[in-house]
Amino acid sequence: MNANERDEITASVAAHAELGDRYDAAVAEGLVERIGEEIDKRIDARLGGQTRPATNGKPVPPVYHGPVAPTPTMPAAVPPPPPVPRRAGGLSGMVLGLGSMGLGVGATAVVVAHHVESFAAFLMVLLIWAAIAVINVAHSQRKL
Reported as a single tens digit per residue, the pLDDT across 97-130 is 888 889 899 988 888 887 667 888 888 889 999 9
Residues 10 and 56 in one domain: yes
Stretch 54-81: mean pLDDT, rounded? 64
- Report whether pLDDT(9) > 60: yes
Region of 13 on the Ramachandran plot (φ > 0 left; ψ -120 to 50 alpha; else beta): alpha
- Please tell me whether the overall predicted TM-score, pTM, comes out greater than 0.85 for this model: no
Stretch 26-40: mean pLDDT, rounded? 77
H or E stretch covering 4: helix 3-19
Output DSSP code: residue 22: G
The per-residue pLDDT for 42 is: 81
Percent pLDDT > 70 in the chain is 70
Residues 8 and 56 in one domain: yes
Number of domains in the chain: 2
Region of 76 on the Ramachandran plot (φ > 0 left; ψ -120 to 50 alpha; else beta): beta
Which of 60, 80, 104 represents a domain boundary (last residue)?
Answer: 60
H helix runs in 1-144, sequence order: 3-19, 24-46, 90-114, 119-141
Domain presence at residue 76? no
Measured distance CA(47)–CA(81) in Å, rounded? 59
Domain presence at residue 84? no
The letter for the amino acid at 19 is: L
Single out the residue of 88, 103, 104 nearest to residue 139, CA to CA: 88
Domain presence at residue 27? yes
Measured distance CA(8)–CA(4) in Å, rounded? 6
Q: In which domain, by residue range, is 50 found?
A: 3-60
Domain presence at residue 68? no
The per-residue pLDDT for 25 is: 74
Domain presence at residue 133? yes
Q: What is the mean pLDDT of the chain?
A: 75
